[in-house]
Amino acid sequence: MARDISSLVIDSLCDQEGKVDSAVVGLYCDFLIQQEQTVTNIMGTILKQLVGRGDIPKYLREAFQEAKKNFGGRGPRLPELMEMLRKAIASLPQVFICLDALDECLPKHLPDLLGSLRDIVRESPKTRIFLTGRPHVTGDIQRYFAMAIVIPISPNMDDIRSYLEMRLGRDSEPEAMNDDLRADILRVILERTSDM
């Protein structure tokens, strides 16, 4: 559900992207690859998405070439990425950063991740950050963003109705279905769901 919400919000932001020339970037965190989803890699992929829209900026090419000289090439370091991110964001009218399932990051990465996002927002106050996650990360987020707006996602009757209607529409035996039965099914399931 939260993941669906993320993809919906990302698409919705992308729809306006063309109109107001904003950039929408982000990542779906995933506990299956949480070792790889380090703060450095997450900031790296945000920068990658931002600069990937056009020609590679000179400062990035130079940083890459410099890194290649050392020990056959080392990865970018976080402070270096943050500085390049600052430049990339400054060159755009507005940036939306979307991170789904924050709780699926390794807990030890969370403070650095939120701290890095706070640094971005302090440097570029127009940047908007969209996060989803289990309720237990609310406190972590509020430690870094005291004024964060929180929307709880709970079973929403409209969502459940949409889903049921979709499933009923795909019934494999449509001849066994009629309006009364359909209405009964919706009524009973929605009643029971609202009791949960």
Using CB under 8 A as the binding rule, the residues of this chain from 77 to 106 that contact other proteins are 81, 98, 101
Collect all residues with Cβ–Cβ distance below 8 Å to 172 and sequence separation of at least 6: none
Q: How far is the CB of 90 from other proteins (least distance, A)?
A: 14
Q: In the set 19, 32, 71, 147, which binds other proteins (CB under 8 A)?
A: 147
Angle at 14 (CA atoms; ends 13, 20), nearest 5 degrees: 80
Our finding on whether 181 is near other proteins (CB under 8 A) is: no
Residues 51-70 that bind other proteins (CB under 8 A): 51-54, 56, 60-61, 64, 67
Place of tokens 């390794």: 106
Taking contact as CB under 8 A, which single stretch among the options 105-113, 129-137, 171-179, 180-188 is the one that binds other proteins?
129-137
Q: Locate 71 and state its tokens.
A: 């020990």
Q: How far apart are CA 58 and CA 72, in angstroms?
A: 21
Identify the bridge partners of residue 24 per DSSP, sorted by sequence position: 96
Residues 7-36 that bind other proteins (CB under 8 A): 7-17, 23-28, 30, 36
Q: In the set 130, 182, 185, 186, which binds other proteins (CB under 8 A)?
A: 130
Q: State which amino acid sits at residue 173.
A: E
Our finding on whether 152 is near other proteins (CB under 8 A) is: yes
Our finding on whether 39 is near other proteins (CB under 8 A) is: no
Contact between 78 and 44 (Cβ < 8 Å): no
Q: In the set 78, 106, 160, 185, which binds other proteins (CB under 8 A)?
A: 160
Q: Locate 141 and state its tokens.
A: 């987020």
